[in-house]
């Protein structure tokens, strides 16, 4: 049996947990090989959303940060143990980035799995994922959100999951079952208001100004301007050097809208980096709202993140203005203008109603919920079309364009 342990916490976190994990494994199996990566050895660059690992160098990330050995050890293990630090009630940005970068281990192609879309496997098998995260200081709801998220992540990665946790000072390993996503935590009626002052819109896409999020933000701004809002600043979170300045300015502005793509069922690592810098608001009128978009057609794919964003607002002491979730966004830059018209009109309406009412309008949320699940008819059509290759057109187009089509099923980390 081969096990690889990845310490994805900060460098000053206690290593005694790793010793306990090693002891637990050795007690389970006397014939075991354990590979350990320390906190210093697991620093990674943020995923930049370039999709090179899908359509330029299939199966291998293009970022030059010596991550190749880590992911090769991961793929050639029977089990892996991932140790996360928690920040702002969620796994830290460092841990989130590690999971984001795992997309290279899967194919871009989509299949229907248990009635929803998901990525096809690149390899025949994947290691069991065992998670540990420090629960000290977390609310019960935050612990549930993290557990649900990690179990969903393991499912997304075609494997099972377990959890390392201390009980009465003894480390135990137990099954981590995937559950349905939690409902909104507050379940409260949002209160309309008359917004004042400047609007800050955060583009959380790693692609920055070249992103789909930027295209959507442009339409949102047009809708806001229709309501007479002119003081709008867009802050691109891929500019890591500005995070500290923007975080310090957070409490000085009333209106904050975060727009970002779904990365492995949550926010991109760089967005979590920014969230970690935010501090509780002290008796000021500050508001947060979120727009999460994804390539998956179903909005339900983002529901494991939704309750966390609500709790984040509460943790910071700011007013929560709601969340809108939109699926089926990937590929809009290839579509003709007319094909995007409905989506862009929706974005303008989002901006207009938010600027006028100060909340994510309930009618818009209801409209987007119509796309919550993939209909049975769509599933049937997809199944019929799949042998023709049409559902793969978007990815195959770029694979061929980059001269990588013949290598699209490469398995670079297989021994």
Please write the tens of the pLDDT for every residue from 13-28. 778 999 999 999 999 8
Could you report the per-residue pLDDT of 101-144, keeping only the tens digit for each?
999 999 999 998 888 899 999 999 999 999 999 998 999 999 99
How many residues are present in the chain? 415
Same domain, 29 and 141: yes
pLDDT at residue 184 is higher than 70: no
Same domain, 58 and 203: no
Q: What is the pLDDT averaged over residues 293-312?
A: 92
Q: How far is CA 156 from CA 17, 205, 230, 233, 400, in A?
A: 27, 21, 42, 35, 27
Same domain, 167 and 214: no
Could you report the per-residue pLDDT of 57-97, keeping only the tens digit for each?
999 999 988 889 999 999 999 999 999 999 999 999 999 99
pLDDT at residue 374 is higher than 50: yes
pLDDT at residue 413 is higher than 80: yes
pLDDT at residue 289 is higher than 90: yes
Same domain, 244 and 111: no
Decide if 126 is inside a domain. yes
Q: How far is CA 111 from CA 191, 370, 414, in A?
A: 40, 21, 23
Could you report the per-residue pLDDT of 226-263, keeping only the tens digit for each?
999 999 999 999 999 999 999 999 999 999 999 999 99
The answer to whether 164 and 147 have CB atoms below 8 angstroms apart is no
Decide if 397 is inside a domain. no
At which of 141, 175, 209 does a domain end? Answer: 175
Could you report the per-residue pLDDT of 137-179, keeping only the tens digit for each?
999 999 999 999 999 999 999 999 999 999 988 999 999 988 8
For 248, the 3-state DSSP assignment is helix
Mean pLDDT of the chain: 92
Same domain, 213 and 348: yes
Q: How confident is the model at residue 385 (pLDDT cuts 50, 70, 90)?
A: confident
Same domain, 212 and 280: yes
CA-wise closest residue to 4 among 75, 81, 68: 81
CA-wise closest residue to 4 among 108, 101, 113, 78: 78
Q: What is the pLDDT averaged over residues 198-213?
A: 96
CATH of the domain at 284: 3.40.50.360
For 295, the 3-state DSSP assignment is coil
Residue 65's pLDDT is 86
Same domain, 232 and 278: yes
Decide if 258 is inside a domain. yes
Domain range holding 249?
199-371
Same domain, 171 and 214: no
Residue 336's pLDDT is 84
Of 89-93, 186-190, 400-404, minimum mean pLDDT range: 186-190
Same domain, 232 and 294: yes
Beta-strand pair 79-84/116-121: unpaired
DSSP string, 27-40: HH-SS-EEEEE-GG
Structural domain count, the chain: 2
For 204, the 3-state DSSP assignment is coil
Residue 189's pLDDT is 73
Same domain, 208 and 274: yes
Decide if 414 is inside a domain. no
179 against 280, higher pLDDT: 280
Percent of the chain with pLDDT over 70: 98
CA angle 13, 16, 20 (to 5 degrees): 135
pLDDT at residue 187 is higher than 60: no
pLDDT at residue 270 is higher than 50: yes
pLDDT at residue 186 is higher than 50: no
pLDDT at residue 376 is higher than 90: no
CA-wise closest residue to 306 among 217, 141, 181: 181
Same domain, 82 and 136: yes
CB atoms within 10 A of CB 233: 12
Q: How confident is the model at residue 182 (pLDDT cuts 50, 70, 90)?
A: low
């Amino acid at each position: 049996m081969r096990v690889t342990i990845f310490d994805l916490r900060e460098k000053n976190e206690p290593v005694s947990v790793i010793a306990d994990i090693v002891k637990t494994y050795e007690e389970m199996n006397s014939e075991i090989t354990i590979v350990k990566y320390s906190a210093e050895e697991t620093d990674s660059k943020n995923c930049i959303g370039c999709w090179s690992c899908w359509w330029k160098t299939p199966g291998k990330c293009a970022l030059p940060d010596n991550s190749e050995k880590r992911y090769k050890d991961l793929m050639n293990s029977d089990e892996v143990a991932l140790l996360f630090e928690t920040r702002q009630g969620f796994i830290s940005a460092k841990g989130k980035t590690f999971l984001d970068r795992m997309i290279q281990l899967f194919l871009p192609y989509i299949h229907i799995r248990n009635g929803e879309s998901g990525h096809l496997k690149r390899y025949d098998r994947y290691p069991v994922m065992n998670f540990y995260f420090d629960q000290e200081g977390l609310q019960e709801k935050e612990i549930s959100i993290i557990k649900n998220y990690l179990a969903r992540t393991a499912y997304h990665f075609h494997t099972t999951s377990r959890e390392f946790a201390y009980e009465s000072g003894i480390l135990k390993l137990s099954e981590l079952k995937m559950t349905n996503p939690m409902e909104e935590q507050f379940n409260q009626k949002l209160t309309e208001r008359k917004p004042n002052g400047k609007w800050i819109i955060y583009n959380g896409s790693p692609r920055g100004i070249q992103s789909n999020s930027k295209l959507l933000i442009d339409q949102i701004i047009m809708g806001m301007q229709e309501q007479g809002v002119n003081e709008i600043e867009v802050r691109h979170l891929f500019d890591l050097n500005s995070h500290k300045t923007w975080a310090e300015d957070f409490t000085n502005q009333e209106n904050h809208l975060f727009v970002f793509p779904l990365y492995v069922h949550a926010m991109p690592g760089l967005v979590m980096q920014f969230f970690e810098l935010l501090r509780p608001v002290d008796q000021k009128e500050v508001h947060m709202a979120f727009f999460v978009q994804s390539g998956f057609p179903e909005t339900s794919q983002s529901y494991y993140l939704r309750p966390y964003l609500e709790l984040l607002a509460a943790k910071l002491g700011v007013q929560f203005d709601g969340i809108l979730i939109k699926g089926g966004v990937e590929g809009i830059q290839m579509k003709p203008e007319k094909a995007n018209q409905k989506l862009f009109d929706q974005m303008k309406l989002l901006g207009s109603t938010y600027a006028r009412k100060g909340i994510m309008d309930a009618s818009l949320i209801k409209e987007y919920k119509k796309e919550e699940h993939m209909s049975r008819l769509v599933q049937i059509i997809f199944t019929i079309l799949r042998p023709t290759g049409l559902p793969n057109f978007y990815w195959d187009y770029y694979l061929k364009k980059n001269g990588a089509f013949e290598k699209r099923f490469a398995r670079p980390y297989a021994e």
